[in-house]
Amino acid sequence: MKKIDTYQHRKILVLGLAKSGVTAAALLHKLGAFVTVNDFKPLSENMEAQGLLEQGITVITGSHPVELMEEGFELVVKNPGIPYTNLMVKRAFEKGIPVITEVELAWEISEAPFIGITGTNGKTTTTTLIFEMLREGEKQPLIAGNIGTVASGVAQEAREDNTIVIELSSFQLMGIDRFRPKIAVLTNLYDAHLDYHGTRSEYYGAKANITKNQGIGDYFVYNADQDETLEIARASKATLVPFSATKELGTGAYVSGGWLCFEGEKIIHREDVALPGEHNLENILSAIASAKLSGVDDTAIQAVLRTFTGVRHRLQFVAEKDGRKIYNDSKATNILATQKALEAFDAPIVLLAGGLDRGNGFDGLIPSMKNVKALVTFGQTAEKLEETARKAGIKSIVRADNVEGAVPEAYRLSKPGDIILLSPACASWDQYKTFEVRGDMFIEAVHKL
């Protein structure tokens, strides 16, 4: 960890706890800052806040009092989940107080370079692939961000010979100032999280922040098949490294004659790649580019791609039961992700879907539902999804109370040779704390069959 005095004797507010807030508060305290923590959860129910109190950190819980912003703070470190419409955050901006996320702290103290991965879909798969390729290539990577440990915790342990591979959300990237990854990856861009960002422009702008501080000595790995990502690439000052799953580029990463290539070199044949789904080609190609730029040899890349079958909750194979193959895609929290999952299979599908209602419809799924023979819905969006299924000509439609109840219904509607697929197309927060919890409940219910 770098010894920095940037925060010494500065008065800093950490807004919101969870893992990132706890780690950031403890780190800032260690760096000599005068730290105050504010979290909505009452102290009696807040073990994290109690632990920080024991370290001598000022803790205010139970509400977000706007008047707290009058106490002379020089910086706010915000939990990524707290929206910028929060009154405390808005007051900070009115007073000219910078608001960052803990990713910025991680970068400032890290001795190791960063590979940062963002995009609407494919972040977790791409991050995991890059990490595994670097590990197989003996590059001593560490994994952080949404997929792993809190970045500012990982950065405290990182050495110069490590590389921090970090999955970054738009929420995190909204709060960076000088964060500069050695390699930045943008998998793709589609409309998402507009309930948080408000506009497409703000969402895309947050994603573009991943390359805003890069220079000529850095690399920006971007999707050459999208106008939106091309526009961000044109504004980047980094060395551009495109990838394409649809056309031969001659540079960067691409597919040619069934081979996955990088800079004109054949790396591996598509038939030798274990990860299913055409949509995963983008993730694989961006991972190959990042690994090659990091000095990983072809043998290590090939070894990972021949064995890696996916990450937990992302088209994860769970079991085969009486001739039915069952997959957990709980991480599909938007329509596009579910489209990709449906298009990954040729067999008849019994789809389990539903969750938090963000106000959108689901007719965008119809072109991808040609193999869906039955639908089991749950959650707030059940009725909307059922309406879409009827438009798609699906006859078998059943509503369940939750994921656990949906599993036996899906099995009842299926036959040998079918795919049973949980791919909700919605966030989980109406019934489950996280998509991981939802996926775990699905897996548990499958094992009870």
Which H or E run contains 115?
strand 114-118
| Phi and psi at residue 325, to the nearest 5° | -95, 130
163 is in an annotated binding site: no
- Half-sphere exposure (Cβ direction) of 66: Cα atoms closer than 13 Å: 9
List the end-to-end C-alpha distance of the chain, in Å, as a whole number: 49
Collapsed DSSP state (helix, strand, coil) of residue 145? strand
How many whole angstroms separate alpha carbon 405 and alpha carbon 408?
6
321, HSE (Cβ side, Cα atoms, 13 Å) = 20
Pairing relationship of beta strands 396-399 and 239-244 according to DSSP bridges: unpaired
Fill in the DSSP letter of residue 366. G
Per DSSP, what are the bridge partners of residue 178? none
Strand order in the sheet with 11-15: 58-61, 34-39, 11-15, 75-78, 99-100
Buried b (16+ CB within 10 A) or exposed e, 112-141: bbbbbbbbbbbbbbbbbbbbbbbbbbebeb
Q: Residue 150 and residue 20: Cα distance in Å, rounded?
A: 6
Partners of 349 in beta bridges = 372, 419
CA distance 6 to 31: 8
Tell me the three state secondary structure of residue 274.
coil
125 carries a ligand binding annotation: yes
The residues near 258 (Cβ < 8 Å, ≥ 6 apart) are 269, 270, 271
Instruction: Kindly state the tokens that stand for 238.
Output: 């980094």
CA angle 442, 446, 447 (to 5 degrees): 120
Distance CA 235, CA 104 (A): 22
Amino acid identity, residue 30? Answer: K
Rounded CA separation 359/5 (Å): 46
121 assigned to a ligand binding site: yes
Distance in angstroms (rounded) separating the CA atoms of residues 195 and 337: 18
Task: Judge whether 122 is annotated as a binding position.
Answer: yes
Binding site for ATP, residues?
Answer: 119-125
Binding site, residues?
Answer: 119-125
